[in-house]
Amino acid sequence: MRKAAHFIWAPIRHWVQGLGPYASLAVVAVPLAIVEPLKLVAAVVAGSGHWLTGTITIGCAYLVSLFFVERLFVIAKPKLLTLRWFAAGWTWFVAVRGKALALVKRPFVGASQPARRRKRERYRPSPP
């Protein structure tokens, strides 16, 4: 499977890496501009009563987004980061994402310490 993926993506990787930063942006933006609105259209189709068609379309759009657009972004990211405005936006996005993940993880991490303390006290042998 890995050889087949390399066989498919190697020419695309070579082609994208040879492009300039704005051409790389176009290579990522065009499929993204097709797939993202398709998800909304599929939700409308599913909501209008064609739930099977809508569900299949949403699933396919997410698969294309995950396996194609994400891979293109990973390949084009070094070129995109040479654009000053893109690098600033990416740095901001990564910082905000890190803070949001820390807020989500904090209640779980903080809640585990008192739980461990209670468990330790509960199973501590009583003095003779």
Q: In total, how many domains does the chain have?
A: 2
Claim to verify: residue 64 and residue 74 sit in the same structural domain: yes
Res. 3: pLDDT tops 80: no
The arithmetic mean of pLDDT across residues 91-120, rounded, is 76
Question: Which domain, by its residues, includes 33?
Answer: 1-82
Res. 14: pLDDT tops 90: no
Q: State the pLDDT at residue 20.
A: 92
- Residue 105, amino acid: K
Q: State the pLDDT at residue 25.
A: 94
Q: pLDDT digits over 34-76, tens only?
A: 999 999 999 999 989 898 999 999 999 999 888 888 989 999 9
Claim to verify: residue 69 and residue 88 sit in the same structural domain: no
Task: Give dist(CA 67, CA 31) in Å, integer.
Answer: 12
Q: State the pLDDT at residue 11.
A: 85
Res. 111: pLDDT tops 60: no
Claim to verify: residue 76 and residue 98 sit in the same structural domain: no
Q: State the pLDDT at residue 101.
A: 87
Q: Is 65 helix (H, G, I), strand (E, B) or coil?
A: helix
Q: Is 58 helix (H, G, I), strand (E, B) or coil?
A: helix
Where is pLDDT greater, at 73 or 5?
Answer: 73
The arithmetic mean of pLDDT across residues 91-111, rounded, is 80
Q: Is 49 left (phi over 0), alpha (psi -120 to 50) or beta?
A: left
Task: Give dist(CA 27, CA 17) in Å, integer.
Answer: 11
Average pLDDT score, the chain: 84
Claim to verify: residue 96 and residue 52 sit in the same structural domain: no
